[in-house]
A and B are shown apart, each in its own frame.
Chain A
C-alpha cells in the first residue's frame, strides 16, 4: 500500500518535469520530404482441407497471396497467386508456399497428416457349396391341391437341374409343403406327392436320385401364416434344403 502511493508520487513528479522541459525546447527546421514508400511486403496463406486424410485419399490445398509476383509451392511448382488444388500425398506432408514480390518473400505452410487406411477386409472367401446352392436352387410352386409341376415353374426347375448337374455331389432335401386349408392327414400325403413330383422331375433331368431326400411337412410348417391366396401360394411349394 505504501509502496503504491510512492509510485504515484514519483510518476506525477516525473510528468511535471517532462512538461516543463518540453516547454523550454527551441523550435527546429521542418524535416526533408519523406522518401517514396518501400514496396509492400507480400502476404501469403496456405491451408489444406481436410488436413487429415487416409492414405490414398485427396485433400484440397487453398492459398491466397498478395503483393507477390512469383508464387510456388514445393512439390507442385509455380502456381497462380490465388487458387486451390487437389493433392494426394502418400505420406504426411508439410506443403510450403513461397510468395516472392518486390517487397520481399513470404512463406506459408500447411500440414497434411496421412494415416494408414484400416487393414483391408480379408479377401471375400469364395462362396461355399451351401451358399451357391441357396443362391441358385429355387423352390417350385404348386397350384391348389395339385402336385404336378406347372408350366410357369419349368424354367425354375431347369435352373435347378442345371445347377445340380454342375454340382453332382450336392446332397439335398426336397420338402413338400401345403397351404393351411384342408385336412392335416391329406395335406401330408399331398406334400409327399409334391416332394416326389419335384424329385422325379430332377431325376428325369439328370440329377442323381441318390442325392435327394424327400419329406412332407403338409401344413405343419408354413412359411407364411396369413389367410389369403398370396400367402397360400408361398406355402404350396417344393422347398429345397441343402443336406439330407
Chain B
C-alpha cells in the first residue's frame, strides 16, 4: 500500500519535478546552468578554404555545447557585433552585462596555411576581468571538413570538462547501432551527434545488439549464422571479425563488464534461455540463472561491476531483475506490465528501461523510457511523445540517454538529456535500432 501511495505521489509530482532533476544524477543536470556565449570563430588569414571549414567548425562547436545540457547558451542575436577572434579583441563590458549577460565566453580563430589547419580557442570568465582566462588551446590538423569537425568536438569537450564539474564531455564519443538501410540488419557506427554514419559489418544476415567494449577496441553482437544465433566479435582495430567460440543454442545480447574482462549474455544452449557469464575471450562459461522462461538482455552495474540487471519472463510478461554477478540474490524491480531493455547509469545509481506499464486489452499500451533509482525503486517516465520507445543507453557522462523510437514513423535513433528534456532525432534513413554508446 505504501508503495502504491508513493508511486502515486511521485506521479503527481513528476511534472513539477521534471524541470528540477528530482533524480539527482550528480552530473550537473538540473543545477543552475552556466550562461555561455559562443560567437562564431573568425578566419585568421585570407585562405579561401577557411570559409567552409569555419562553417563546419562553428556549427559543430555550437551544437556540442548546446547539447551538453549544462549551459544556458547566449542567443547570437544578443551578442555584440564586434565579436573577438583574439584575447586582445575582448570587450568585457559588452559580454558580462545584458543583453548577453554571459558568465563565460568561448571564442577564437581558424586558418589554413599550406596543408595545416590551425585553430586557436579560448574560454574566458568574463565576470573576472583581471584574470579571465580559463582555457587557451591551439589545435593543428589537416585542412579537411572532418578535421574541423573533430577539432570542434575536442574544444567543446575541454570546455564541458572545465565547466561541468570535471566530467569529460561526450562530443568525441561514438554510437553503435543496427541499421537495415543496406537491405540487411547490419552493425553501423556514428558520432554521438548523428554525423559520420558508416556501416561496419557486411554479413548479409541479421545482426543485432551491438555492445562496444569499455576500451572501444571490440564490438560484441549477436548474429544469425548458419548454426543459429551466435555471439560474434568485431575488432575495430582490425576492421574485421575475430574468433569467438560458438556455444550452441540461441546466443543473444552480450554485455561487457566495466573492466572489459567478462561478458554476460543470454544462451539457450541448455534448451532454455538463461544468463551466462564468460571471459571476454569466451572461455570459462558459467551459468547464472536457472528459471524456465526467457532470460535475456543482461547489463552490468557500470560503476561496481558486481551486479547484473536483466529481463526475465519467469512469471509471464517480462520484468526487470537484478542479481549479484555470481548469480545470487535475484530481485525483481518492476511489478507490472512489460518491462525490457535495462541499461545501468555510469554512476551505478539508476537503471533506464523500456516499459509498457499498463499492459493488456483496453490498456493504452504506450512503450516509454523510464528511469528508476535502484535503491528506492522510485521511477519517473522520461518519454511521453508516443510510439514505441526502446533500448535506452547512457552516455559516458551520464547526462544523456540514447534510445530508439517509432514516434516519427519508422524506428529511428533519438537522444535526450537524462531528465527527458531536449529529445532529438539522430537518424533518418532506413530503420535504425538498438543504439549503444561508447564508454568514453
Contact = CB atoms under 8 A, between A and B. Distances in A.
B295 A185 contact: no
Interface stretch (B157-165, B309-317, B326-334): B309-317
A192 interface: yes
Given A193-B273, A200-B271, A188 B296 contact: yes
A238 B303 CA distance: 41
Contacts of A145: 313, 316-318, 338
B340 A190 contact: no
Contacts of B434: 184
Interface of A, secondary structure class, is helix
A43 interface: no
A64 B206 CA distance: 80
A190 B250 contact: no
Interface string B286-304: 0000000111110000000
A192 B273 contact: yes
Please name the 10 residue pairs, one residue from A and one from B, whose CB atoms are nearest each other, closest first: A189-B294, A189-B296, A183-B340, A192-B250, A189-B273, A192-B268, A185-B297, A185-B253, A185-B296, A216-B250
Contacts of A68: none
A182 to B, nearest CB: 6
A193 B252 contact: no
A192 B293 CA distance: 10
Contact of B294 (A190, A200, A213, A220): A190
Interface string B185-221: 1000000000000000000001011000000000000
A196 B268 contact: yes
A190 B341 CA distance: 14
B271 A185 contact: no
Given A192-B250, A216-B250, A220-B206, A186 B294 contact: yes
16 contacts: A147-B294, A183-B341, A183-B391, A185-B252, A185-B296, A186-B297, A186-B318, A188-B250, A188-B296, A189-B252, A192-B249, A192-B273, A213-B228, A216-B229, A220-B185, A220-B206
Interface residues of A, number: 18
A183 B433 CA distance: 11
Interface in A80-118: none
Given A185-B296, A213-B228, A216-B268, 13 more contacts: A145-B316, A145-B318, A183-B297, A183-B311, A184-B433, A186-B294, A186-B296, A186-B340, A188-B252, A188-B296, A190-B313, A192-B273, A220-B206
Contacts of B206: 220
A185 B249 contact: no
Given A145-B313, A196-B271, A183 B250 contact: no
Contacts of B427: none
B354 interface: yes
A147 B295 CA distance: 13
Nearest to A188: B252
A215 interface: yes
Contacts of B311: 183, 185-186
B390 interface: yes
Contacts of B253: 185
A215 B296 contact: no
A39 to B, nearest CB: 93
B390 A183 contact: yes
B141 interface: no
Residue of A145, A186, A196 with highest tally of chain B CB at under 10 A: A186
Interface string B246-278: 000110110000000000001010011100000
Interface string A159-190: 00000000000000000000000111110111
A182 B340 contact: yes
Contacts of B390: 183-184
Contacts of A196: 268, 271-272
B190 to A, nearest CB: 19
A200 B338 CA distance: 27
A115 B313 CA distance: 72
Contacts of A188: 208, 229, 250, 252, 296
B252 A215 contact: no
